Structure 1
């Protein structure tokens, strides 16, 4: 029976690079991700550096996951629209983004999700703070909206930096 462990760790959606870096550090220490979910990660003992882990936003189709399987990667978890993939490092470099445009598209998907969540929290918060049925918890939605707007700004900053890099290389 293989040795496993489960860790609980929180990452904001705009910290996907930090999350991926941590998962790969765990793989370098000999702990391969077997299941990724909401703030919960299950690992099994493996050879140090045996796997490379990647995190990607997914749509509702299975096309991307099928494409990952063709590349020799296996899906090891899903949380809302996040997909967790691992691939044996012996197969070589494992990048999800072939160029700057695919990286920008990834950031745009995250940005759209954050924008929709932010707007929903603003509407719900304002509705709960005003009118005859005002709730004392409407401020909580407005606080969530502010936090999501901060994350949206971080994503836009990353995207604008990539666009600047692309312009320099053209």
Structure 2
């Protein structure tokens, strides 16, 4: 089963995954959404960390360390950031972090990633503006991006069929650049939310 959801709050995500396991849906992979395997309902303990690794060997050592401590690595890659673990040994505690500061630090790493992404898009936005890819006419006169001859003189079904056919192409011509400022705004917002969670959890 596949589910598309997005979380900033790791604790809420953990609770949701545990509830899914309790209903018999066990996390198998995380790639543009959650992939679950149907099985027996289970009262699972799932925890999430956020770490990225430059070397595959460091990632393997990281996963091995948790497995030696009674936690199975469920999902995540060396560059995905979010790492999912399931408790496999009843003799160990229910937490993978030593203290609140270590637990909160994952939000700081997440916030830093979002801020870095936002900043990395800023030069692209400036370059696109300088080479006239960004065209503010799209906001004031979107008709210029429709190239069908005589489109605006047509009426009825003839107009609507031509208009609806060309609209996706007009949007790509005139508004594709909007992705970049929107992405920057979203990354800054997610970074702010993550940093707020870090401040709330570090004490």
Shift of 1:151: 1.0
CA distance in 2, matches of 1:77, 1:92: 21
Deviations 1:59-102 (A, max 9, x none): 31223211111112111211512112212373453212221220
Aligned residue number for residue 88 of structure 1: 88
**Cα distance change on mapping 1:68 and 1:33 into 2, 3 Å:** same
Q: Structure 1 runs of 4+ off > 6 angstroms?
A: none
CA contact (8 A) 1:37 1:77 kept: no
Query: Which residue in the other structure is 1:28 paired with?
Result: 22
**Alpha-carbon deviation of 1:133?**
4.3
Q: C-alpha displacement at 1:131, in angstroms? A: 1.3
Q: Distance in 2 between matches of 1:127 and 1:96?
A: 44
| Contact 1:8/1:40, CA 8 A, preserved across alignment | yes
CA distance, structure 1, for counterparts of residue 192 and residue 75 of structure 2: 27
TM-score by length of 1: 0.79
Residue 21 of structure 1: how far off its partner (Å): 1.6
TM-score, normalised via structure 2 length: 0.67
Q: Which residue of structure 2 aligns with residue 108 of structure 1?
A: 108
Mapped contact 1:125–1:139 kept (Cα < 8 A): no
Q: Which of the pair has the greater relative contact order for Cα pairs under 8 Å at 6+ separation?
A: 2
Q: Distance in 2 between matches of 1:92 and 1:31?
A: 24
Aligned length: 156
Secondary structure at the aligned position of 1:85 is classed as strand
Which ranges in structure 2 are unaligned for 5 or more consecutive residues? 135-174
- Among 41, 46, 51, the alignment partner of 2:40 is 46
